[in-house]
Structure 1
Amino acid sequence: MKLSKANRAIFIIVSVVCGLYALTLIFPLLYTFVNSFKTNGEFIVNVWAFPKHFNFDNYIAAFEENNILMMFFNTIFLTVCGTFLSMLSASIMAYILSKYRFIGSGLIFTLAIAFMVIPNLGTVASTYKLMSTLKLIDSLPGLLILYMGPFGSTFLLLYSYFKGISWSYAEAAKIDGAGNFTVFFRIMLPQARAGICAVGFMVAIGVWNDYFTPFMYLPSMYTLATGLQDLSTQATTTGAYTQLFAAVIVATLPLLIIFGFLQKTIMENTIAGGLKG
């Protein structure tokens, strides 16, 4: 299809803007990758030059000196379990409030929206005091409890999605004798699969990259986010930036590989979830 001059000009402008935006995303990762193979001396001499030879000592040091495998374990455990619990609690709450009317349901929904307005920093003191009283500070289960809170943007997105799902299948199942749990897990949840996958992917990325929550409530157990921040602080005093770059690449690579294999599925569910919601 031949474009008019005006449309061609718009297409070129949009392409240039998108290309520049893509470059701003790719360049930092490429810069980090290239410099991760340098020695500290090579990096200090010229931060823009390519390495004279590929030096893997930084990657070896990232595993041997910084216990990055334990950081991986903590991060993967929190991401998998935290995402599952967060999606489960938010899905149940969103389903109940979108499909059932009972005394106090409107108040609960209003409180859910109000909680989203309160800044996270505004609740840190009270949350920390509660976690400390329950002796859940510095424990993985304690952090998972925080991640499984049913309110927030996750709840709001799933609420709008469940709101758009027809209730006719559930009514037919109830006529056949299905209970509330059967209706939710066997009928409603599968229909919301696209929306749950789309929101779940965003939640997983958020948990994987979360720095503040583990920093506050899991001080002695490093995740990748807190561990990399600690390495960054050390690099400012020791000058071991190339080792930091190697650790960043190691931390980023798993997500890139997973997204590469599941890109089609993730994008299809994200688009379907967006259209349905």
Structure 2
Amino acid sequence: MSAAALTRGAGPLLGPLGKALKYASLVAACVVAILPLVTVFLASFKTQDEFRETGPLDAPESWTNLDNFVTAFTRGGMLQGFLNTTIILVVALAGTILIGTMTAYAIDRFDFRGRGLVVGAFLLATLVPAVTTQVATFQIVSGLGLFNTRWAAIVLFMGTDIISIYIFLQFMRSIPRSLDEAAMLDGANRLTIYARIVFPLLRPAIATVVIIKGIAIYNEFYLPWLYMPSRDLGVISTSLFRFKGPFGAQWEVISAGAVLVIIPTLVAFLLLQRYIYNGLVSGATK
């Protein structure tokens, strides 16, 4: 029997088998991703004795036991962490959007020497390992008097990365230059064109950058831990990390703190995930 005949004969069998293996692998991946979250969620509602005596996947005796969440908020400093995170997140995102859209507008709309070099410099900056520049960055932040203040994290997060530049540029190229020319004939200057015509049309790109960079800032640990060591300036990631001290043996309280940190990100992603996918591809296909 030839190889072609064997392939044709095995085709009907490999089809259902391949589909079954595909779905089985997807189910296994979902279990691996969800199981730790379920374990942490169940532990957050258990008492200390219940946590020691029951299995990790056993349901708590009372789903209304919110003592662990209250402890996390009051004694764990999570409320202050959420407040600091919100302030840093809002100011840094506003600065990123303003700087990023202006940069993309200048690169796309103005013809000047070295335009390609500017884009290449942004790309080159992303290729340099961040750990190699931490000494110089720390000296600059300290020299500016920003160390141990919220502005240290805000200024560092505000730096526009190549992903934001790329997203804004893709959308900018989909906006006809004829709109700029028509506005200039009516007497508008470049700043007016940017603020009243280009910026409103970049709303899909802005939404995409807000989601992507917002989640990155929300989950960041290293920069707040290094540049804001004060407990009063702790964000949610550093506040959760500090649980290892006063609550080192109270895993149910630590689980409650982890749930408090996970829920906002999870809800935001589930509600806004379509904007991530649409925003990344729509600018390149218009």
TM-score computed with the length of structure 1 as normaliser: 0.87
Residues 94 and 159 of structure 1 are in contact (CA less than 8 Å); yes or no, is this contact kept in structure 2? yes
Per the alignment, residue 71 of structure 1 pairs with 81
Residues 93 and 155 of structure 1 are in contact (CA less than 8 Å); yes or no, is this contact kept in structure 2? yes
**Taking structure 1 as reference, are residues 189 and 107 closer, same or farther at Cα in structure 2, changes over 3 Å only?**
same
What are the equivalent positions in structure 2 for 1:59-208 lying under 5 Å apart?
A: 59-208=69-218
- Counterpart check, 1:23 vs 2:31: yes
**Taking structure 1 as reference, are residues 21 and 268 closer, same or farther at Cα in structure 2, changes over 3 Å only?**
same
Q: Distance in 2 between matches of 1:144 and 1:37?
A: 35
Q: Specify the code of the residue in structure 2 equivalent to 1:44.
A: R
Q: Distance in 1 between matches of 2:191 and 2:203?
A: 17
Q: Distance in 1 between matches of 2:22 and 2:199?
A: 39
- Counterpart check, 1:247 vs 2:257: yes
**Taking structure 1 as reference, are residues 125 and 23 closer, same or farther at Cα in structure 2, changes over 3 Å only?**
same
**Taking structure 1 as reference, are residues 110 and 28 closer, same or farther at Cα in structure 2, changes over 3 Å only?**
same
Q: Distance in 2 between matches of 1:90 and 1:246?
A: 37
Q: Which has the larger radius of gyration?
A: 2
Residues 78 and 240 of structure 2 are in contact (CA less than 8 Å); yes or no, is this contact kept in structure 1? no
List alignment gaps of at least 5 residues for structure 2: 1-10
Give the length in aligned residue pairs.
Answer: 269
Task: Give the drift of 1:126.
Answer: 0.3
Q: Distance in 1 between matches of 2:281 and 2:206?
A: 11
Task: Give the drift of 1:44.
Answer: 2.5
Task: Give the drift of 1:139.
Answer: 0.9
Per the alignment, residue 52 of structure 1 pairs with 61
Per the alignment, residue 240 of structure 2 pairs with 228
Q: Distance in 2 between matches of 1:93 and 1:17?
A: 44
Give per-residue Cα distances to partners, 1:85-116, cap 9 Å, x unaligned: 11221121122112212133232222111101
Q: Distance in 2 between matches of 1:49 and 1:182?
A: 61
**Taking structure 1 as reference, are residues 244 and 98 closer, same or farther at Cα in structure 2, changes over 3 Å only?**
same
Task: Give the drift of 1:56.
Answer: 2.1
Per the alignment, residue 4 of structure 2 pairs with none
Residues 33 and 245 of structure 1 are in contact (CA less than 8 Å); yes or no, is this contact kept in structure 2? yes
Give per-residue Cα distances to partners, 1:6-41, cap 9 Å, x unaligned: 776655444433333333332222211111111223
More deviation, 214-223/100-109: 100-109
Q: Specify the code of the residue in structure 1 equivalent to 2:274.
A: M
Give per-residue Cα distances to partners, 1:164-193, cap 9 Å, x unaligned: 432221222122211111211222222222
Which of these residues, 34, 43, 51, is aligned with residue 42 of structure 2? 34
